[in-house]
Structure 1
Amino acid sequence: MELILQTGLTHQQKAVDSIADVFKNTTISQPNQYYGNPEIFTDGILFENIKQVQKTNGLHSSLRILSREVKPLHLDIKMETGTGKTYVYTHAIYELHQQYGINKFIVVVPSLPIKAGAEQFLGDGYVQKHFENTCGYGAQIELYTLKAQAKKKGKTFFPSAVRAFVEGSCQTKNRIYVLLTNMQLLTNGNMLSRSDYDFGVHGYYRPFDALAATQPFVIMDEPHRFQRDQKAYERIVEELKPQCIVRFGATFPDIAVGKGKNKTTKKDYLNLLYDLNACESFNQNLIKGVAKEHFEPLSSKDEKIKITSIESKTSAIFNHISVNGRKSYTLQTGDSLSVISEELKGLSITGIGKNFVEFSNGQIKFTGEEFTVDIFSDSYQEQMIRLAIQRHFETERANFDRPCKIKTLALFFIDNIDSYRGDSNGNKWLHSIFEQLLKERIDYELKQTCSTEYRAYLEASKADISACHAGYFAKDNTDSDDNIAAEIDEILHNKKKLLSIVNEDKSLNTRRFLFSKWTLKEGWDNPNVFTIVKLRSSGSDNSKIQEVGRGLRLPVDEFGNRISNEEFMLNYIVDFTEADFANRLVAEINAELPAEQATHISIEEMERVAQLRNIDTNQFMIELMTRGYIDFSRKINVDKINDFYQDYSEFNMPRLASAKVIDKNKKAKNTVKVREARFNELKELWSAINKKYVLFFNSDVEQSIEKDIQILLQNGVFGSQEITTDRQKIYAGKSNIEVVGEAGVTYLISGKRLPYNVFLKRINKATSIPINTLHNAIVQYAKSENGFNQAYINESSAARFISKFNDWKYDNLKGRFNYKKTEYTPASTKLTNADGTVRAEVVQGEIGTNILRGEPSAKYLYDVIAYDSPLECKNITKEIEEVIVYGKIPRRSISIPTIGNDSYSPDFMYVVKKANGEKELNIVIETKQVEGKSSLRGEEGMKISCAKEFFNQLTLDGYKVSFKTQLNNNGIKSIIEEILKGE
């Protein structure tokens, strides 16, 4: 399989454009040597560009700081883990090369796993083709990876990667030269600093000097690992002498400000351009949500014991772990464990082996194993593994039984490597327990109803349990075992294989459980990790967002397509000592926000919301002050902050959405109860509309696109555009002020010219039409039209083509597609559990951001009136005699595929009866807060037309559902009466 790279993702494109826009209209001089970059001058224009980029990206005022004095030029891009930093900095490399001729880049990473991931991505042939052809850059990266040199007798050879990188000619327009290195090679040893090599390059015998001569741009990954006072940073600045350092990271280093009592710490940002923080990433569904869960100990006390080491066959060291901390004890054979905890009274040590301890109750515990103070409980870690395997299979079953399957992975962080790999005697208790529990769960899953394909996958797993899991640890890098080497290659270097359900030889790839000891951390991630289990403690000072970061990326299906139109959750399992993990994660995410951002409204936000509400900004501010929500400085009244965001939901609340990080051990807040009796009356309808369908285009659509592009081009895409003023004059009448319209003026404008490749890329990103198809069509059009002018390649032409293509898509694809029911039935839905029973409650935000006080109708599905628009509120509070039951459909729960490459979910469902009560009717309603059909945007109209086709097909498949669109001027009662008359 190939991982399908997507172009034009807004959150990624913004970062790329932010970097490129810094150098607009700056002074650039050609290099003195063919192997060097052009020189970009950091003048006043450049820093004005930085200020404009920061403003355009909406950075909070406290983050809009210019670091003029820090040399060389630094640019910072903050992007949360899982949002595609590697893709973005690769894209930025191509963009800087194309726009400004920058040809020499040095990518610096902090560790070998990150280096392996970067090398795999930058050197991947598919990635190269993506940027060269799909994105239209017409250039390729020549990647050179710097590696430690083996010591040899005799001659000393200049590092080959440095030689090749330096010798690369910047005059070769279709080549970009990238040198990849890790931090240790800059600081350890003298490979780059020595000058006694037998041969040099261009007169340079010291590699650092040769690299500096190229005037490189440095890309720094994971900047929190590179403090500015560290040796690695010093080497980068003073030895590589880059023109610019662009830092990409989810976390940036801290820096101390002030002295004594006034000393504080802040993030060491240097010209921060773009801030895609964790809060925005979660809220925009750019990454998975997190469902934290811990296993409650059987004992009434939150305590556990860990055997940390065996000193000899006569004594062992135990760690007592509780919410209050840790304490160490050394015990010998015959000692009672009551000295550790009174709960263990009556339990003593009867024997101590090389790596185990035997207790008087017959239990044997191994070094590194943890157990609760309940002497009759299983190993605490064993319970966590059992829970993790259960959560994995719950997720895997749902992911497998989809039209396009998702390979589901689980990652275990462990404390004792020998417990998995085996000690000198071959004992590996964790390995054995895991395989035992995995086999038990597979046997259980095989007894359940499942598809033929999934059953075959389970049978293959059971037939070779050992093939289902693998491990990677730091010491594996020096291990010569062939089997271990194969595991490392698949985990660390062969992401595509790990994501594949079927191997190249057509056998089933059942490897999906991975074990590590924090070796797989920054730099390693896999989009299909759905469960992370922390069998070891990482310490309270670790970043919580970094800990879950290995599993935040959105998943890909079996064909490599990233799935971004659904909500996914990462199961994160910890022990009871981290019971507050979810709260700490939320606190960490919100703490990243500037202090004022959460409680202060900017002028820009005030103007934006006032415009949405069609009210003067000053009047709007007076309204908020009168209601006691803000003061004169626009600071929000903390006591009323929840009411404020509820009543004025248009404001972008800079807080993590409650549904994005949940604690499965606690009852979720802001939930709405589902009335079970009401749901039972809706159950049949709910089941029917949750059937999964696939949209198929007619076979002639692709040919139509290529043919109709010519028609679109001939229909006024190129040429000048009219712009007319709307002229109004204000007159003082006899009794009032009057506004009288007058004829305005009309101008012909051509728009700002664009480079041809930029023109093609802009259309490609907006329409997904391949660049080659666009190019061929424009060439054909230019040949057929006399007087075609290069000036036609401009912003206006691009915008007109995109607009016309969208209109064409909405107009021409209607009726040229059909829906076909799949065999996939979701195991669980927003309203039902995996076993089909109704959920007790749903998150309020799923059915409405606003709450109306009062009791809803007895016929309503929920016990609270939650709504998004006034029209929805009217529907919920309207009593209609014919209605048996009705309810708001939770957001994005139905997912009807549309011709716009996204999905659609309507708003309401009703079950009604005729006056004679003989027949029940099923109705699904879409509410639109507009006055008439002409007010619907093309995209909304397209989604509604797709929904009509979907419900028509559902009716043809044997379950009749009436679908209606409700506009502002339609009452729900009149819609229902109209449907009843037609029956």
Structure 2
Amino acid sequence: MRLQFKHQKFQQDATNAVCDIFAGQPYSSINYRLDSGDNIVLHDNAWANAKVQIDDNTILERINKIQRENQIAVSKKLEGKYNLTIEMETGVGKTYTYIKTIFELNKRYGWSKFIIVVPSVAIREGVYKSLQITQEHFAQEYSKKIRFFVYNSQRLNEIESFASDNAINAMIINSQAFNAKGKDARRIYMELDEFRSRKPIDVIAKTNPILIIDEPQSVEGPKTKEGLKKFNPLFILRYSATHKKDSIYNMVYRLDAVEAYNKKLVKRIAVKGITQKGITATEGFVYLEKINLSEKAPTAMLQFDVKGATTIRKKTMKVNEGFNLYDNSGELDEYKNNYVVSSINGKEDYIEFLNGKRVYIGQVCGEVNEEQLRRIQIRETILSHLDMEKKLYNKGIKVLSLFFIDEVSHYKQYDEAGQAQNGIFAKMFEEEYEKVLNEFQLDLDSDSYREYLENISANKTHAGYFSIDKKGRMQNGKISKKENTSEDVDAYDLIMKDKERLLSFGEPVRFIFSHSALREGWDNPNVFQICTLKQSNSEIRKRQEVGRGLRLCVNQKGERMDETVLGEDVQDINTLTIIASESYDSFAKALQNELAEVLENRPKVVSRELFEGKIIKNNKGNQIIIDKDMVDTIYYDLVSNKYIDRKGNLTDKYYEDRKEDNIEFSPEIKEYTSSILDIIDSIY
């Protein structure tokens, strides 16, 4: 399979936001002599980026104009010469956007030397893969290809080529390669005999490279900022979804979490929260899996303990009102106290027993240990996976699920002879998969999907993606304390090389076990379930956790299933389910708090200041700057039509009319309605 790429307006807008700043810059590059430390000429045809020839006042004016067009606070000064910030939500194609920006800067101005600075191996490998898979796509558009490589202090010939080649060149480099204390990191600053007594940093700096910083909030400590200056950058572009407040310089484009969701550019998020209620063995174990309202009378899938010949085991059954757990458990004492289903409430998602106890979907009642909770999470992930797969199989969309774990030994273990064996989570998965599949296949009406399931065994449909030691064994790998992400190349090599293969129905792997620290740099558009099987108290930010599955899915042709293909159904099909080891409310609150951090600088009410000085377009595309008189007209219309209250909050009437496309302004500003509404939509 080859992934297909579309031209999307927001990515072009982000590219233009950078490139338009330098309009009028002559198309050129600088040819110079690349020599050794003792001035022996090695090349007469080394190339560098030409200096910016636009004066600073004009650059600032351009930045301000673009900021007004994009409803971003206007910068009062140039912050560095030059630093430009681009905010793009996870999953919308940030890497694609800055690769496109590289091509466009080259096309317009002839600049050809670029350095992409990344904070971790994961992101480095992700960037390298993106450059690979987009190569043909951009070659068709620009009739050029980028020569790209990962910086390695032992491969100095690549730096030589970077300087001497007049094509587009991109070097990907970890920040640790120039700001760490290790011997390998110091080599970039050393005069090396094998590099003809030159310092690699000097050769790089002479090219006046454009720096692209991927995830600057993870890169730019004080030492890194000083190290970046030594590259002698022409200017710096910063791309992230989560910029730190103190490192936002001249922001020129913003597509944050709310806008990405509203524009249907990412998956919708659903949460299955698994919580424990009751802690004593005297309370019977009950887990409510789901409620089914499609039958004549509501039923529920209920898990409870059942007495066997020698042991107590857990059993899942479809139950209706009047179902008696005591009778059906083999008369276990913990169900003796009126554990009879008295009602099934599909509206509020709970069942109630005659003893007054209520159990909500996702709740576990009674005594339950860590292992049992993990088993329930795995079962719920499989159930969600199969429900989504049943829906999408005939549309040619493969469904993937991702488990995050903290210890490789929980997935794979090795005996004294080095033979691999399933760890506890792999065992649980195979057991639960077989059980769930047997129940699930009873309701299937698609012969082709049934055949697909029958041809995939439980042990073939899951795989682990971890670092590999010299004996070929999976291992936890090294973890960067600063970023809490793995530093092992092997882990990410394996994941990235399998990205397209994982999307094919011919590949049986559908369930992926990986290290919980894999938070950035890898994602797959067809991850529809994420389950975190934590055995420790390590904190993973919710947005990083869900970010691995936010991209819109693709079909077997590699086509992106976005709004242009699916229309209004785009987020019904593109739904990411999180199986959380906490309540829905707890997970949602944590995620909302993180989103609130992102939105802190956005306007919270409609005020006159929201509009004044902004650039808007009419129906013909002509632009004007909103003056004071126009502000008064807009504000009067909003008040008189009861679209805002006395405090400037948007009213229900606004949202109703907005949904029906029924908002109208006074005749003199009516032709600017679309642009005015874009400004109002920046309110959350």
- Fold in common (TM above 0.5): yes
Question: 1:591 Cα deviation (Å)?
Answer: 3.8
Aligned counterpart in structure 1 of residue 225 of structure 2, from 210, 218, 233: 233
Aligned counterpart in structure 1 of residue 136 of structure 2, from 115, 129, 132: 129
In 2, the alpha carbon distance for the partners of 1:291 and 1:386 equals 17
Aligned counterpart in structure 1 of residue 267 of structure 2, from 288, 291, 302: 288
What amino acid is the match of 1:128? Q
Query: What corresponds to 2:177 in structure 1?
Result: 185
Query: What corresponds to 2:380 in structure 1?
Result: 387
Instruction: From the superposition, tell whether residues 623 and 283 of structure 1 become closer, same or farther in structure 2 (CA, over 3 Å).
Output: closer
In 2, the alpha carbon distance for the partners of 1:162 and 1:607 equals 44
Aligned counterpart in structure 2 of residue 501 of structure 1, from 490, 505, 513: 505
The answer to whether 1:24 aligns with 2:23 is yes
Q: Mapping of 1:237-256 within 5 angstroms?
A: 237=229, 239-255=230-246
Instruction: From the superposition, tell whether residues 630 and 182 of structure 1 become closer, same or farther in structure 2 (CA, over 3 Å).
Output: same
Number of aligned residue pairs: 529
Aligned counterpart in structure 2 of residue 603 of structure 1, from 603, 608, 611: 611
Aligned counterpart in structure 1 of residue 102 of structure 2, from 85, 93, 116: 93
The answer to whether 1:164 aligns with 2:161 is yes
Q: Mapping of 1:572-651 within 5 angstroms?
A: 572-576=578-582, 579-595=585-601, 597-601=603-607, 602-603=610-611, 618=632, 621-622=635-636, 624-625=638-639, 636-638=647-649, 641-643=650-652, 645-646=654-655, 649-650=657-658
Instruction: From the superposition, tell whether residues 450 and 114 of structure 1 become closer, same or farther in structure 2 (CA, over 3 Å).
Output: farther
The answer to whether 1:562 aligns with 2:560 is yes
Is the contact between residue 144 and residue 165 of structure 1 (CA under 8 Å) also seen in structure 2? no
What amino acid is the match of 1:15? A
Question: 1:418 Cα deviation (Å)?
Answer: 1.0
Query: What corresponds to 2:91 in structure 1?
Result: 82
Instruction: From the superposition, tell whether residues 200 and 390 of structure 1 become closer, same or farther in structure 2 (CA, over 3 Å).
Output: same
What amino acid is the match of 2:251? L
The answer to whether 1:3 aligns with 2:14 is no
Is the contact between residue 274 and residue 583 of structure 2 (CA under 8 Å) also seen in structure 1? no
Query: What corresponds to 1:530 in structure 2?
Result: 528
Question: 1:298 Cα deviation (Å)?
Answer: 4.8
Query: What corresponds to 1:176 in structure 2?
Result: 168
Q: Deviations over 1:803-838 (max 9, x none)?
A: xxxxxxxxxxxxxxxxxxxxxxxxxxxxxxxxxxxx
Query: Which deviates more, 74-83 or 239-248?
Result: 239-248
Q: Deviations over 1:405-424 (max 9, x none)?
A: 11100011113321112266
Q: Mapping of 1:358-507 within 5 angstroms?
A: 374-375=367-368, 379-402=372-395, 405-422=396-413, 428-462=423-457, 465-473=458-466, 476-481=467-472, 489-502=493-506
SS in 2 for 1:275: strand
SS in 2 for 1:580: helix
In 2, the alpha carbon distance for the partners of 1:67 and 1:478 equals 52
Aligned counterpart in structure 2 of residue 118 of structure 1, from 117, 127, 137: 127
Q: Deviations over 1:61-90 (max 9, x none)?
A: 3xx2255242x4111111000000111111
What amino acid is the match of 2:15? V
Question: 1:112 Cα deviation (Å)?
Answer: 1.1
Instruction: From the superposition, tell whether residues 607 and 51 of structure 1 become closer, same or farther in structure 2 (CA, over 3 Å).
Output: closer
Question: 1:24 Cα deviation (Å)?
Answer: 0.8
| Amino-acid identity (%) | 30
Instruction: From the superposition, tell whether residues 11 and 511 of structure 1 become closer, same or farther in structure 2 (CA, over 3 Å).
Output: same
In 2, the alpha carbon distance for the partners of 1:539 and 1:626 equals 54
Question: 1:378 Cα deviation (Å)?
Answer: 6.7
Question: 1:97 Cα deviation (Å)?
Answer: 0.6
Q: Deviations over 1:20-42 (max 9, x none)?
A: 10111247775251321111146
In 2, the alpha carbon distance for the partners of 1:132 and 1:562 equals 20
In 2, the alpha carbon distance for the partners of 1:477 and 1:182 equals 21
Query: Which deviates more, 493-502 or 40-49?
Result: 40-49
Q: Which runs of no fewer than 5 residues in structure 1 stay unpaired?
A: 150-157, 256-267, 302-345, 347-370, 503-508, 651-848, 850-866, 871-983
In 2, the alpha carbon distance for the partners of 1:449 and 1:48 equals 62
Is the contact between residue 66 and residue 270 of structure 1 (CA under 8 Å) also seen in structure 2? no
Instruction: From the superposition, tell whether residues 96 and 295 of structure 1 become closer, same or farther in structure 2 (CA, over 3 Å).
Output: same
Is the contact between residue 525 and residue 550 of structure 2 (CA under 8 Å) also seen in structure 1? yes
Is the contact between residue 409 and residue 530 of structure 1 (CA under 8 Å) also seen in structure 2? yes
Aligned counterpart in structure 1 of residue 251 of structure 2, from 272, 275, 286: 272
Is the contact between residue 92 and residue 266 of structure 2 (CA under 8 Å) also seen in structure 1? yes
SS in 1 for 2:380: helix
Q: Mapping of 1:645-664 within 5 angstroms?
A: 645-646=654-655, 649-650=657-658
Question: 1:146 Cα deviation (Å)?
Answer: 1.5
In 2, the alpha carbon distance for the partners of 1:32 and 1:299 equals 75
Query: What corresponds to 2:14 in structure 1?
Result: 15
What amino acid is the match of 1:166? A
Instruction: From the superposition, tell whether residues 195 and 586 of structure 1 become closer, same or farther in structure 2 (CA, over 3 Å).
Output: closer
Instruction: From the superposition, tell whether residues 372 and 416 of structure 1 become closer, same or farther in structure 2 (CA, over 3 Å).
Output: farther
Question: 1:453 Cα deviation (Å)?
Answer: 2.5
In 2, the alpha carbon distance for the partners of 1:119 and 1:609 equals 39
Question: 1:583 Cα deviation (Å)?
Answer: 2.9
Question: 1:228 Cα deviation (Å)?
Answer: 4.3
Instruction: From the superposition, tell whether residues 40 and 420 of structure 1 become closer, same or farther in structure 2 (CA, over 3 Å).
Output: same
Query: What corresponds to 1:352 in structure 2?
Result: none
Question: 1:472 Cα deviation (Å)?
Answer: 2.2
In 2, the alpha carbon distance for the partners of 1:620 and 1:52 equals 21
SS in 2 for 1:467: coil
SS in 2 for 1:290: strand
Instruction: From the superposition, tell whether residues 377 and 607 of structure 1 become closer, same or farther in structure 2 (CA, over 3 Å).
Output: closer
In 1, the alpha carbon distance for the partners of 2:634 and 2:147 equals 57
Instruction: From the superposition, tell whether residues 93 and 183 of structure 1 become closer, same or farther in structure 2 (CA, over 3 Å).
Output: same
Instruction: From the superposition, tell whether residues 478 and 254 of structure 1 become closer, same or farther in structure 2 (CA, over 3 Å).
Output: farther
Query: What corresponds to 2:550 in structure 1?
Result: 552
Query: What corresponds to 1:664 in structure 2?
Result: none
Cα RMSD of the aligned pairs, angstroms, is 3.4
Q: Which has the higher contact order (CA 8 A, sep 6+)?
A: 2
What amino acid is the match of 1:48? E
Is the contact between residue 398 and residue 504 of structure 2 (CA under 8 Å) also seen in structure 1? yes
What amino acid is the match of 2:138? F
Q: Mapping of 1:507-906 within 5 angstroms?
A: 509-536=507-534, 542-565=540-563, 566-567=570-571, 568-576=574-582, 579-595=585-601, 597-601=603-607, 602-603=610-611, 618=632, 621-622=635-636, 624-625=638-639, 636-638=647-649, 641-643=650-652, 645-646=654-655, 649-650=657-658, 849=659
SS in 2 for 1:621: helix
Q: Mapping of 1:185-204 within 5 angstroms?
A: 185-188=177-180, 189-191=182-184, 192-200=187-195
SS in 2 for 1:236: helix
In 2, the alpha carbon distance for the partners of 1:609 and 1:539 equals 51
Aligned counterpart in structure 1 of residue 50 of structure 2, from 33, 38, 41: 38
Question: 1:227 Cα deviation (Å)?
Answer: 2.8
Query: What corresponds to 1:65 in structure 2?
Result: 75
Is the contact between residue 54 and residue 274 of structure 1 (CA under 8 Å) also seen in structure 2? yes
Is the contact between residue 472 and residue 519 of structure 1 (CA under 8 Å) also seen in structure 2? no
What amino acid is the match of 1:512? R
In 1, the alpha carbon distance for the partners of 2:147 and 2:410 equals 43
Is the contact between residue 71 and residue 614 of structure 2 (CA under 8 Å) also seen in structure 1? no
What amino acid is the match of 2:87? K
TM-score (norm 1): 0.50
Question: 1:48 Cα deviation (Å)?
Answer: 1.3
Is the contact between residue 419 and residue 431 of structure 1 (CA under 8 Å) also seen in structure 2? yes
In 2, the alpha carbon distance for the partners of 1:38 and 1:176 equals 14
SS in 2 for 1:140: coil
Question: 1:561 Cα deviation (Å)?
Answer: 0.1
SS in 1 for 2:401: strand
Instruction: From the superposition, tell whether residues 141 and 29 of structure 1 become closer, same or farther in structure 2 (CA, over 3 Å).
Output: closer
Question: 1:643 Cα deviation (Å)?
Answer: 3.2
